[in-house]
Amino acid sequence: MRTPLHELPRAEVLKAWRRTEKATNDAHGLIRAELGLVNMDIVWSGALLVPIIAMLATTQPRERRPEAMLGWLGLAALLHRYSRSSETALDQDLRACRSDDPIGALLRNLRHHRTSLLAKPTDFQGSLNDRSGLLAAYVACRNRGIRDFFTGQKVLLQQDIDRHHILPRRQFRESERSWADNIANIAFVTSDVNKAISHSGPEVYLSEIDPAILKSRCVPVDRALWRIKTANAFWAMRQKLLADSFNDFLRSALPGRKL
């Protein structure tokens, strides 16, 4: 039985609140520093942060594994951990955070829904409404050192970042434009870059970009795929590149863990 908040001693509530507030700020700082998420809009549910806040609140700084926390965060997004029955899932994960091995317990909770935690190309075939998939795609690109199309500088998700259709939406027939609204067709760019390349064909503007920059965004470098008529092949290849990079991120963030 849970004790109602109003029945708890005031001093106890205030102490817990201060600890939670500090852990929340630490969680935001961790995500900004390690994932470059200045704009948190892509983190579609606050529930994704709760287990990280709980772990930061209950462990000493020298005992923390921030890379493992972020590995779990990426997986929770990829597997849509809190997209349904969120309260039940959150209760399970908060209990896991109180175990001797919080990360291991959190991963076991994820494994109840899928035996293998490694990403599959099909995890990145969702529509733009799938913000969990978008976050996982960003993590995959971040793992490759995501760089700006024109300047080559590292990309941070700030207020002026747009979701750019790599194969421009307007170049599809009107009846087919909704096909372009999928995760594998999205790159995060600054607003100015988006305006500059929105009218160019992919075979034109992609040819002007350093292949190393394209690879940093998990964009196929095979020029034969840079056409509207080969859109499905382009998206299939990008889904594979995103999955491969995301799995490299997992292996680095969660060494020795069963994935």
Give the pLDDT confidence of 132-143 residue by residue, as tens digits.
Answer: 888 899 999 999
Average pLDDT on 207-229 reads 92
Percent of the chain with pLDDT over 70: 91
Which residues contact residue 227 at a Cβ distance below 8 angstroms, ignoring those fewer than 6 apart? Answer: 201, 202, 203, 234
Q: Give the pLDDT confidence of 35-65 residue by residue, as tens digits.
A: 887 766 777 778 889 999 999 998 888 888 8
Asked if residue 209 lies in contact with residue 185, where contact means CB atoms within 8 angstroms, the answer is no
Q: Give me the pLDDT at residue 193, please.
A: 58
Which residues contact residue 250 at a Cβ distance below 8 angstroms, ignoring those fewer than 6 apart? Answer: 71, 74, 75, 117, 118, 119, 259
Q: How many Å apart are CA 12 and CA 199, to the nearest integer?
A: 59
Asked if residue 96 lies in contact with residue 106, where contact means CB atoms within 8 angstroms, the answer is yes
> Phi and psi (nearest 5°) for 162?
-110, 160
Residue with structure tokens 């995060």? 188
The residue among 221, 224, 236, 253 whose CA lies nearest residue 71 is: 253
- DSSP H helices in the chain: 10-35, 50-58, 66-78, 86-97, 102-111, 131-143, 191-197, 202-205, 211-216, 231-253
Predicted confidence band at 156 (pLDDT cuts at 50, 70, 90)?
low
Q: Does the pLDDT of residue 197 top 70, yes or no?
A: no
Q: Give me the pLDDT at residue 243, please.
A: 97
* pTM given for the model: 0.88
For the chain, the structural domain boundaries read 5-117, 121-249
Predicted confidence band at 191 (pLDDT cuts at 50, 70, 90)?
low
Residue with structure tokens 């772990």? 55
Predicted confidence band at 92 (pLDDT cuts at 50, 70, 90)?
very high
Q: Does the pLDDT of residue 198 top 60, yes or no?
A: no
Q: Give me the pLDDT at residue 148, please.
A: 80
Q: Does the pLDDT of residue 21 top 60, yes or no?
A: yes
> Phi and psi (nearest 5°) for 165?
-80, 115
Average pLDDT on 204-226 reads 92
Q: Give me the pLDDT at residue 161, please.
A: 63
The burial of 69, by beta-carbon neighbours within 10 Å (0-12 exposed, 13-18 middle, 19 or more buried), is given as buried
Mean pLDDT of the chain: 87
